């Protein structure tokens, strides 16, 4: 009876963690969206962490870390106004094919619009273009922790954000239930306990600013 009750409680907690991500949305302007009537002039897109989860296909400390990296970077870069797509260059310290930098860059690109050579080239001669604004292996951060720089192309101001992923709590022994979930041998209780612990880790990343360093370059 106790086991069933615990599984039910964990299932409810898991549902709550999945739905109620406790983090502010990111608001960002897009000149092309404004020009084409998708947004009113000066009105921002509102991007939530759930939107980032949809882009990634999952929620995890890497995805939530990427969301906070770009949120904190843009907040520092644009303290008094909305950030603007096409005016933000993203520089990653690591390579594109790195597991962490690859996943993070996709989410950061989704928010900022910054892309490599295959991105949107802009309207009528480049208006609002976002091509070649995402770059990899751009600098030595002096740490193994994921680090990104955000540069305003209109002012050349640059902000560096480092994610201290090694300080994220490990989630405890129930994280080991993942293998059983993947091979189908996990019980409902093990599955629910894993999800609860997993999403609690995500919430820590979304709430704890001490996991990130933000500084001008």
Distances (CA, A) of 73 to 60, 89, 96, 112, 146: 20, 11, 20, 11, 13
Those residues with Cβ within 8 angstroms of residue 174's Cβ, 6 or more apart along the chain or in another chain: 190, 193, 194, 196, 197
Query: Above pLDDT 90, what percent of the chain?
Result: 89
Output the pLDDT for position 125.
Answer: 86
Q: For 98-151, how does the pLDDT look when each residue is reduced to its tens digit (9 = 90+)?
A: 999 999 999 999 999 999 999 999 999 899 999 999 999 999 999 999 999 999
**pTM for the structure as a whole:** 0.90
Output the pLDDT for position 143.
Answer: 96
Q: For 146-192, how does the pLDDT look when each residue is reduced to its tens digit (9 = 90+)?
A: 999 999 999 999 999 999 999 999 999 999 999 999 999 999 999 99
186 neighbors 2 (Cβ within 8 angstroms): no
Output the pLDDT for position 15.
Answer: 44
Output the pLDDT for position 1.
Answer: 39
Q: What is the dihedral of CA 122, 27, 55, 217, to 10 degrees?
A: 80
The domain spans of the chain are: 2-212
Output the pLDDT for position 14.
Answer: 45
Of 18-22, 37-41, 116-120, 129-133, the one with minimum mean pLDDT is 18-22
């Amino acid at each position: 009876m106790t086991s069933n009750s615990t599984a039910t409680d964990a299932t409810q907690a898991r549902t709550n963690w999945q739905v109620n991500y406790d983090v502010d949305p990111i608001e960002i302007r897009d000149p092309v969206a404004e020009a084409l009537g998708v947004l009113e002039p000066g009105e921002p897109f509102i991007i939530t962490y759930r939107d980032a989860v949809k882009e990634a296909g999952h929620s995890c400390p890497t995805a939530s870390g990427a969301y906070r990296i770009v949120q904190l970077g843009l907040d520092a870069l644009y303290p008094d106004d909305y950030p603007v797509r096409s005016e933000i260059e993203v520089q990653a310290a690591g390579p594109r094919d790195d597991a962490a930098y690859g996943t993070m860059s996709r989410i950061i690109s989704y928010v900022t619009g910054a892309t490599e050579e295959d991105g949107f080239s802009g309207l009528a001669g480049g208006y609002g273009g976002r091509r070649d604004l995402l770059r990899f292996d751009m600098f030595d951060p002096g740490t193994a922790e994921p680090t990104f720089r955000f540069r305003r192309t209109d002012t050349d101001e640059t902000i560096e954000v480092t994610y201290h992923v090694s300080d994220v709590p490990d989630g405890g022994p129930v994280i080991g239930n993942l293998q059983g979930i993947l091979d189908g041998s996990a019980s409902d209780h093990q599955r629910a306990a894993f999800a609860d612990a997993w999403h609690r880790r995500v919430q820590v990343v979304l709430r704890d600013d001490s996991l990130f360093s933000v500084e001008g370059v």
